């Protein structure tokens, strides 16, 4: 079932759709909550609260929109509610490490989630190259040595992979930039940090 059809069923309050929405977006919601709270147990509470609130407000959701950013926004608010409730219960202070600096916004985490999903759609060889290039910060030469393939092959795969990602992620604030085939510098992507996608979404 497509995301658009699921959104329509959810907005209509169709029985069983909330379970399917949880299966499709539970990981995203948990990630948003965990990045705010820094605690697995509290993040699970916030995740549960998110889906309860989403289901209660399903009728107000516009099914022409994407469910993911809507759920991410609810997850961010739910995580803050859980934090405040837990703080009152334990008489904690705002200077605790997990909230000593502003957490990433729901929109930022949603962008990271989209980057990770886009990476998962790449062919295995291109996905491995991107992971080496951005997550482990290998140069083209180091990748060629690591994978035992010609340098020219690394550069052509890198170009194809970045072109695919640019097409998949063109709607984000900044598109991943195609690696320069004539240079052997460490490549970077603009907008969402892909290292953050690796660490943040896998939580």
Q: For residue range 109-153, list pLDDT tens digits in order.
A: 666 767 777 788 889 888 888 888 877 888 999 999 999 999 999
Q: How much is the pLDDT for 9?
A: 92
3-class DSSP state for residue 3?
helix
Rounded Cα distance between 34 and 16, Å, is: 26
Instruction: Tell me the pTM.
Output: 0.53
Rounded Cα distance between 10 and 19, Å, is: 10
| Beta-carbon count within 10 A of 203 CB | 13
Q: What is 136-164 written as a DSSP string?
A: S---HHHHHHHHT--HHHHHHHHHHHHHH
* Domain 113-201, CATH: 1.10.10.10
Q: Which CATH number fits domain 3-101: 1.10.3720.10, 1.10.1740.10, 3.40.190.10, 1.10.10.10?
A: 1.10.1740.10
CA nearest neighbour of 75 among 40, 38, 41, 44 = 44
Tell the burial category of 154 from Cβ atoms under 10 Å away from its Cβ (0-12, 13-18, 19+): buried
Q: Contact at 8 Å (CB) between 165 and 122? A: yes
Q: Which residues contact 143 (CB under 8 A, 6 or more apart)?
A: 129, 132, 133, 154
Q: How much is the pLDDT for 47?
A: 93
Rounded Cα distance between 130 and 197, Å, is: 12
Q: How much is the pLDDT for 166?
A: 81
Q: Which residues of the chain have pLDDT under 70?
A: 1, 89-111, 113, 170-203
Instruction: Sketch the domain layout of the chain as residue ranges.
Output: 3-101, 113-201
Rounded Cα distance between 74 and 92, Å, is: 24
Q: Contact at 8 Å (CB) between 187 and 134? A: yes
């Amino acid at each position: 079932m497509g995301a658009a059809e699921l959104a329509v069923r959810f907005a209509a309050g169709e029985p069983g759709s909330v379970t399917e929405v949880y299966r499709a977006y539970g990981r995203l919601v948990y990630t948003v909550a965990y990045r705010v709270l820094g605690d697995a147990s509290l993040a699970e509470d916030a995740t549960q609260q998110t889906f309860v609130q989403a289901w209660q407000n399903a009728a107000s959701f516009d099914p022409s929109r994407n469910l993911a950013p809507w759920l991410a926004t609810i997850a961010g608010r739910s995580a803050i509610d859980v934090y405040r409730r837990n703080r009152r219960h334990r008489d904690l202070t705002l200077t605790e490490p997990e909230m000593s600096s502003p957490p990433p916004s729901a929109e930022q985490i949603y962008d990271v989630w989209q980057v990770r999903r886009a990476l998962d759609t790449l062919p295995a060889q291109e996905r491995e190259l991107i992971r080496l290039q951005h997550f482990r910060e290998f140069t083209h030469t180091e990748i060629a040595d690591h994978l035992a393939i010609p340098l020219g092959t690394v550069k052509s795969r890198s170009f194809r992979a970045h072109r695919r990602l640019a097409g998949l992620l063109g709607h984000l604030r900044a598109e991943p930039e195609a690696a320069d085939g004539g240079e052997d510098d460490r490549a970077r992507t603009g907008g969402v940090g892909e290292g953050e996608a690796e660490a943040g979404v896998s939580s």
